[in-house]
């Protein structure tokens, strides 16, 4: 396997060659933001100019967030793949942008931010301080006699020999936190809305992003360890340590808060909590046997969305559920009433309720711990994706409630699949102008997502919501308004130039490379282009192009081109579709 890992694409111009990365962390490869990387060596200009001395280690910071990915062994190629993912992601650009957006002149700040990478890890250095560190898990930790993982479910085997990765993020002092990247970039930064905990907000955002990228690498390359969607996986787990245990293990003199205070240094343990356990107890508290009761927000702030501005965290009592509007695979959507001060407004409320393993619906019902983890995970992907988006044809997330986790969304009249049914009942079709306006608005939304490297992955009429649309009996008149928005970001993903390998979406709208789960062809933004073609066909003809997805799958497996159900010529506009069908390479 190793010999094929020649290089990873960092971006359109740069590649990362793992075998050229320095083995030794003390002499790392320096990657400068927004400029070509310099290979560091003792005499190289890049290094001597940049580094006055080693950066202050992150574990000496007064406040840090820590996450462990625990595995029985670290798979080959894991770190180079993760480094490439991090460097490719919005994480790199957004952290850099937020650190460099301060009042100091930008040339000065540019020299203050850089990445350091070596064969098995990387760190982000700002102002001679390490503010993010991704490195192999050193086990057992110095001054500890091992770890005890707290969970109510069975845990990975052979805990004494655990390996994996640790992520550490510094919570910078308030006066050094320049900007909070989670706020949608198109909106002006409202310093008040985040001021109560700006630094934790930013550190949580970084922790959540890196955790997410590590999960993507596991899912895409080491499926057997993937734990996010395979909830019964006993080989791996994500944990966060008790911060007091962590501090005591790194510097035993700091263990002032120990409850019993009698443990000898040699007997000190590092207690840590699995993320599913934290998510189940996120409303209450969790307890460290050595340090007593802890808030989940202290241990795993991402699980209580501490990276969101406080205004986006809506108290549960302010949302009243009314009738059910729709139901999908993992969610129920209700109409709701949101109280803001003395005002009330109608909203849609999405309650995520996966009761089984999302990848295998044949598996038994999930245990409560795994169910709350699945709910958190589904909500996290969708809410965090939507929170950063701001576009007239993209559904707006108004906020979330935490206990239970629900997404509060702007309320639509119906979805486009229901509009089609209403037209069909009246034996009417969409006028050309209606089609044109609807398709243009959907294309606008897709172009916005793609400009941010977001693959939507589930474009279909049921996920296009309708506010204004001509009634079936209406003739087109210039006053007819059309407003549609794209909704349901549960499986959307920010993708890197390598694309992604995992299969997700609605079969009738998926291109061959995804339907066949091709190992050779990663899914790229073209997946949405193909689905857009399918939606276009559906809106023209009010039918699916190829009938059953099972039939399409079997035809593709026999290298046959699926037959279109409706022949070209029956509906205006299908000519273009005929050219593009079966391959998503046409854009
Ligand atoms: N904001 C909204 N306003 C009105 N109705 C909505 C809204 N959001 C969702 N719905 C309705 O609920 C249905 C299911 O919602 P959604 O697609 O978000 O759920 P899901 O479980 O993610 O679905 P899927 O199984 O397609 O992934 C939609 O098809 C639509 O009819």
For residue range 123-159, what is the model confidence (pLDDT) as tens digits? 998 877 888 999 998 776 666 667 788 887 766 655 5
Residues in CB range of 17: below 8 A, 6 or more apart: 6, 7
- Whole-angstrom Cα distance, residue 182 to residue 308? 7
Could you tell me if the CB of 215 is within 6 A of ligand 1? no
Q: Which residue has 């960092």 as its token pair?
A: 10
- Whole-angstrom Cα distance, residue 461 to residue 466? 10
- Whole-angstrom Cα distance, residue 343 to residue 161? 57
Residue 346 annotated as binding site? no
Pairing of strands 64-71, 121-126: unpaired
Could you tell me if the CB of 329 is within 6 A of ligand 1? yes
Percent pLDDT > 70 in the chain is: 70
- Whole-angstrom Cα distance, residue 450 to residue 510? 17
Residue nearest to atom 20 of ligand 1 (CA): 328
Whether 97 contacts 202, CB under 8 Å: no
pLDDT of residue 53: 59
pLDDT of residue 267: 57
Answer whether residue 349 shows pLDDT above 70.
Answer: yes
ipTM confidence: 0.96
Could you tell me if the CB of 102 is within 6 A of ligand 1? no
The predicted-structure confidence for 233-259, as pLDDT tens digits, reads as follows: 667 788 999 998 888 877 656 554 555
pLDDT of residue 135: 93
Could you tell me if the CB of 488 is within 6 A of ligand 1? yes
Given pLDDT bands bounded at 50, 70 and 90, which one contains residue 493?
Answer: confident
* Best mutation site among 322, 324, 328, 374 for ligand 1 pocket (most ligand atoms within 8 Å of CB): 328
Q: Which long-range contacts (CB under 8 A, 24 or more apart) does 318-327 make?
A: 318/401, 319/347, 319/349, 319/401, 319/406, 319/408, 321/349, 326/415
Query: Three-state SS across 399-420?
Result: EEECCCCEEEECCCCEEHHHHH
Residue nearest to atom 21 of ligand 1 (CA): 328
The predicted-structure confidence for 520-534, as pLDDT tens digits, reads as follows: 666 788 889 999 998
Atom of ligand 1 at shortest range from CA of 488: 18
Could you tell me if the CB of 354 is within 6 A of ligand 1? no
* Best mutation site among 345, 350, 397 for ligand 1 pocket (most ligand atoms within 8 Å of CB): 350
Given pLDDT bands bounded at 50, 70 and 90, which one contains residue 45?
Answer: very low
Task: For residue 437, count other CB atoms closer than 10 A to its CB.
Answer: 21
3 state DSSP class of 174:
helix
- Whole-angstrom Cα distance, residue 441 to residue 448? 11
Query: How many residues are listed for the chain in this entry?
Result: 587
- Whole-angstrom Cα distance, residue 149 to residue 93? 34
Could you tell me if the CB of 490 is within 6 A of ligand 1? yes
Could you tell me if the CB of 328 is within 6 A of ligand 1? yes
Which of 129, 147, 127 has its CA nearest to residue 137?
A: 147
Bridge partners of residue 332, in order along the sequence: 327, 351
Whether 236 contacts 157, CB under 8 Å: no
The predicted-structure confidence for 191-237, as pLDDT tens digits, reads as follows: 444 445 678 888 999 999 999 889 888 877 787 676 665 666 667 78
């Amino acid at each position: 396997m190793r010999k094929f890992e020649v290089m990873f694409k960092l971006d359109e111009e740069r590649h990362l060659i793992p075998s050229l990365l320095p083995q030794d962390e003390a002499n790392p490869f320096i990657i400068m933001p927004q400029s070509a990387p310099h290979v560091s060596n003792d005499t190289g200009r890049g290094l001597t100019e940049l580094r006055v001395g080693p950066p202050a280690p992150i574990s000496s910071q007064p406040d840090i967030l820590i996450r462990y990915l625990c595995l029985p062994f670290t798979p080959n190629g894991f770190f180079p793949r993760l480094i490439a993912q991090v460097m490719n992601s919005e994480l790199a650009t957004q952290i850099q942008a937020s650190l460099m957006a301060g009042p100091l002149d930008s040339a000065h700040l540019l020299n203050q931010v850089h990445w350091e990478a070596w064969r098995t890890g990387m760190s982000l250095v700002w102002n001679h301080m390490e503010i993010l560190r991704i490195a192999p898990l050193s086990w057992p930790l110095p001054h500890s006699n091992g770890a005890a993982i707290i969970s109510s479910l069975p845990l990975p085997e052979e805990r004494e020999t655990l390996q994996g990765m640790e992520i550490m993020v510094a919570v910078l002092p308030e006066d050094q936190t320049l900007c909070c990247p989670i706020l949608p970039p198109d909106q002006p930064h409202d310093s008040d809305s985040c001021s109560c905990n700006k630094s934790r907000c930013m550190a949580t955002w970084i922790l959540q992003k890196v955790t997410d990228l590590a999960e993507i690498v596991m899912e895409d390359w080491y499926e057997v360890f993937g734990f996010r969607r395979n909830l019964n996986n006993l080989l791996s787990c994500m944990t966060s340590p008790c911060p007091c245990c962590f501090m005591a293990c790194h510097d035993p003199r700091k263990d002032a808060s120990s409850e019993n205070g009698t443990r000898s240094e040699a007997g000190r343990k590092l207690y840590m909590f699995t993320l599913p356990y934290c998510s189940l107890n996120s409303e209450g508290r969790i307890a460290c046997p050595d340090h007593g009761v802890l808030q989940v927000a202290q241990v795993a702030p991402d699980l209580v969305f501490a990276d969101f501005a406080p205004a986006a965290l809506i108290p549960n009592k302010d949302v009243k559920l009314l009738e059910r509007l729709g139901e999908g695979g993992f969610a129920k959507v209700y109409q709701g009433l949101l109280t803001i001060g003395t005002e009330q407004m109608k909203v849609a409320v999405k309650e995520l309720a996966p009761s089984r393993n999302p990848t295998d619906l044949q598996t038994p019902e999930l245990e409560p711990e795994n169910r709350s983890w699945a709910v958190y995970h589904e909500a996290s992907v969708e809410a965090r994706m939507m929170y950063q988006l701001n576009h007239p044809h993209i559904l707006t997330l108004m906020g979330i409630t935490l206990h239970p986790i629900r997404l509060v969304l702007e309320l639509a009249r119906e979805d486009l699949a229901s509009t089609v049914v209403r037209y069909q009942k009246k034996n009417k079709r969409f006028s050309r102008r209606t089609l044109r306006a609807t398709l243009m608005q959907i294309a606008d939304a897709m172009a916005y997502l793609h400009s941010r490297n977001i693959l939507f992955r589930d474009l279909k009429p049921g996920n296009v919501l309708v506010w204004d649309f001509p009634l079936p009996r209406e003739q087109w008149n210039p006053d007819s308004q059309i407003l549609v928005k794209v909704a349901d970001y549960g499986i959307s993903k920010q993708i890197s130039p390598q694309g992604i390998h995992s299969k997700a979406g609605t079969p009738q709208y998926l291109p061959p490379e995804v339907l066949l789960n091709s190992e050779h062809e990663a899914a790229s933004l073209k997946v949405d282009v193909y689905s857009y073609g399918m939606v276009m066909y559906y809106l023209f003809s009010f039918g699916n192009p190829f009938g059953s997805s099972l039939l399409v799958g079997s035809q593709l497996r026999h290298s046959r081109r699926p037959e279109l159900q409706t022949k070209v010529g029956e509906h205006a506009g299908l000519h273009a579709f005929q050219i593009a069908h079966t391959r998503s390479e046409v854009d």
